[in-house]
Amino acid sequence: MSLRCIFLANWKQNVNKCFFKLYSTQLPQTISTNIYMNKLFKSGRLDIARNLFDEMPTRTVVSWNTVISGYSKWGKFNEALALLSSMHRSDIKFNEFTFSTALSLCGRLLSLTPGEQIHCVVIKSGSESFELVGSSLLYFYANCSGIEEAKRVFHDLHDKNELLWNLMIVGYVECGLMKEALDMFMKMPKRDVVAWTTLISGYMKSEEGCDKALELFWRMRGSSEVVPNEFTLDSVIRACSRLANLREGRLVHGILIKYGFEFDQLIGGALIEFYSDCEAIADAKRVYDGVTNLCLNASNSLIRGLISMGRIDDAELIFNTLVEANSVSYNLMIKGYAACGRVEDSKRLFEEMSQRTIVSTNTMISVYSRSGEIGKALKLFEETQGERNPVTWNSMMSGYIRNEQYKEALMLYLNMCRLQIAHTRSTFSVLFHTCSCLRSLQQGQLLHAHLIKTPFHSNVYVGTSLIDMYSKCGSISDAHKSFSSISSPNVAAWTAIINGHAHHGLGSQAILLFEHMLQKGVVPNGATFVGILCACAHAGLVNEGMKLFRLMENCYGVVPTEEHYACVVDLLGRAGLLEEAEEFIKKMPVEADEVVWGALLHSCWYWMDMDVGERAAQKLFSLNPKTISVYVILSNIYAILGKWGEKLEVRQRLRDLEVKKDPGCSWIELDNRLFVFSIEDRNHPYCNMIYATLEHLTMNLNSFHVAPF
């Protein structure tokens, strides 16, 4: 619940009392005019109401309040403030309702000076103790001056105004100060359902706060102080959704049935989203079918859930039954089609949209980028010049990276800085990924310097990208420093630092980090086990790796995938246990793919095992007869073992395929520029000097060769 929502709720409860008290003291004609003006404002006929007000022979405080609040309700805040100034000059005495409306206007316009002037008038009139005025003061200062000024108002007035407790908690929650909100909550003389709901909702929306939201809900249930309302239950269901906690969510579902909220539109949408996030799509569909007068949000939640599970045809059925789809519905289907390879359907749907939003365009930029149509993505990006948001820029940068146009991505970032476009956490994550792909440590360090000046420097999402960048650019010490700067590392951050050690062959340190992660109570996932198994493979820690592989499913419930099996084959193969690796593949519960057999073949190349190597190569040929690397590795094995006939045969087969192996390349970074070299490359402007230096170095090396005795 927002500060404005709570303030408006309190305002509506008190406004009728004020009006009733004042109407009884007015002349009959003035009363009837005020009532008619109020009706005109409610129906949106502002000009007629204003003409009626201007022609009134006698205006009371209610007349002024009616027209000021009328303009305010329709978002005409400047006009309302101008009328307020005219009212003050007319020597009409402000009442409680006038002060409340005036302070609310200043709060919404962020007009600090006029609001402070009104506060002075409030003090002179002695109206601070009125509940509505005190609440408006807190709302005004929280909006215009921040939480400290709001705290001062609360300190001065809370003994006479119980409404301020809830407003202060909302203020803390909106500023992300959950500890202060909880302290205030614990000090409350009487906690109502609004206080409980505000705190639960705040924790639900905060990072890593969903467990605390559930804890508070069960404490609320146990206290019997209040009964949860639909907003409380909506927040709790969403907390279960974010945690993917199916068991607790079902318990909450039972509670809301007891209170009669099962078919509520708000709750129905939250339940559908919850069951979809927990991949209990049959339960989501059951709720969907049971809710009467379904809102579009509920349908969109089900479509999102079906798409996330890859059930695009079922999502399409729901989408096609919608009476009137909105941009969210279209965006979901566009993404869904693209994710399952139906790019043409994505394009068709985008063309069908009658009203495209910037979100739709951002989605389509990503779709075109994924399908390799970077030119079309750039055209869409250029068409959004007047309405681009940070997501548009991030989508275009991601598109460049996906299409290996890394320099263009960095140039786009420079344009963002020049145009002072706000950065998001995704901006930095995308850029650090660019530096990882370029292996550009200097560029990564420059971007890190930019990051430190932003609020995202300790963000776990950005920090994980930073760890990955430093690891891949060869600086494991900087990766460690980046990991240490994350206030509360999650499983992704731990996985990134473990992967970094695996990449650098530091297997023992990776295992220590893994054990430390477990001690911190962080549960490993599939990606974590890929990292730790790779670390064991690179360090030759066979026993430790096999032990961890067995624990993976038995203790942590992580079902092995082809990637995990490939890691184990690599682990055994690097240690020279080639027959054991081959036997392991045969016993796998799933059919081995190219990655698994490829891991075995590479190990055979290292250990020069022709027998196992030939069998692995034959398996790979049966899966894909045009895999160039298999021919190259097999040819090299034959050459080293002196099997020249077999080598020539493999080379001939490779020539018959009419494919060529991409040449290897090397690169070096100097003065923030990346120089790439490949065999017989003469594109560099200083190539003659480079080759002359290389020849000179080769001659010097040869001069040190000692003739044999």
CA dihedral 280, 285, 287, 288 (to 10 degrees): 140
pLDDT of residue 65: 85
**Cα separation, 400 vs 397, whole angstroms:** 5
Query: Which range is most confident: 92-96, 275-279, 529-533?
Result: 529-533
pLDDT of residue 15: 45
Q: Distance of alpha carbon 37 from its chain centroid, rounded?
A: 47
Structure tokens at 200: 């639960």
Weakest-pLDDT range from 94-103, 133-142, 265-274, 330-339: 133-142
Q: Residue-wise over 434-454: b if at least 16 C-beta within 10 A, else e?
A: bbbebbbbebbeebbeebeee
pLDDT-derived band of residue 664, with 50, 70 and 90 as boundaries? low
Cross-strand pairs, 676: 667
Q: DSSP strand E in 283-345: where?
A: none
**Cα separation, 302 vs 315, whole angstroms:** 8
Question: What is the C-alpha R_g of the chain?
Answer: 34
Could you tell me which residues come within 8 angstroms of residue 387 by beta carbon, excluding any fewer than 6 positions away? 358
**Cα separation, 43 vs 397, whole angstroms:** 47
Residues 176, 206 contacting (CB under 8 angstroms): yes
Which letter does DSSP use for residue 206 in this model?
A: S
pTM summary value:
0.62
Could you read off the pLDDT of 491-517 as tens digits, one per residue?
999 999 999 999 888 888 999 999 999
**Cα separation, 397 vs 430, whole angstroms:** 7
Could you read off the pLDDT of 565-622 as tens digits, one per residue?
999 999 999 999 999 999 999 999 988 888 899 899 888 888 888 888 889 888 888 8
On the 0-12 / 13-18 / 19+ scale of CB atoms within 10 A, 556 is middle
* CATH 1.25.40 residue ranges for the chain: 584-660
163 three-class SS: helix
Could you read off the pLDDT of 556-576 as tens digits, one per residue?
888 999 999 999 999 999 999
On the 0-12 / 13-18 / 19+ scale of CB atoms within 10 A, 594 is middle
On the 0-12 / 13-18 / 19+ scale of CB atoms within 10 A, 614 is middle
pLDDT-derived band of residue 17, with 50, 70 and 90 as boundaries? very low
pLDDT-derived band of residue 667, with 50, 70 and 90 as boundaries? low
Fold of 584-660: 1.25.40
Residue type, 25: T
pLDDT of residue 334: 87
**Nearest alpha-carbon partner for 495 in 469, 515, 514, 473:** 514
676-698: average pLDDT: 79
SS3 content of the chain, % helix, strand, coil (to 5): 70, 0, 25
pLDDT of residue 547: 93
Number of C-beta neighbours around residue 74 at 10 A: 13
Residues 602, 612 contacting (CB under 8 angstroms): no
Helices (H) and strands (E) in the chain, counts: 40, 2
CA distances from 651 to 610, 613, 659 (A): 16, 16, 11
DSSP string across 72-95? HHTT-HHHHHHHHHHHHHTTPPP-
Structure tokens at 149: 């000024």
**Nearest alpha-carbon partner for 565 in 542, 536, 599:** 599
Residue type, 671: D
**Nearest alpha-carbon partner for 570 in 528, 609, 548, 542:** 542
Residues 320, 303 contacting (CB under 8 angstroms): no
68-89: average pLDDT: 83
Alpha-helix runs per DSSP H in 505-627? 507-519, 526-539, 542-556, 562-574, 578-586, 594-607, 610-623
pLDDT-derived band of residue 249, with 50, 70 and 90 as boundaries? very high
Could you read off the pLDDT of 138-187 as tens digits, one per residue?
777 777 767 777 777 787 777 777 778 888 888 888 878 888 889 989 98
Residues 278, 244 contacting (CB under 8 angstroms): yes
Q: Is the pLDDT of residue 295 over 90?
A: no
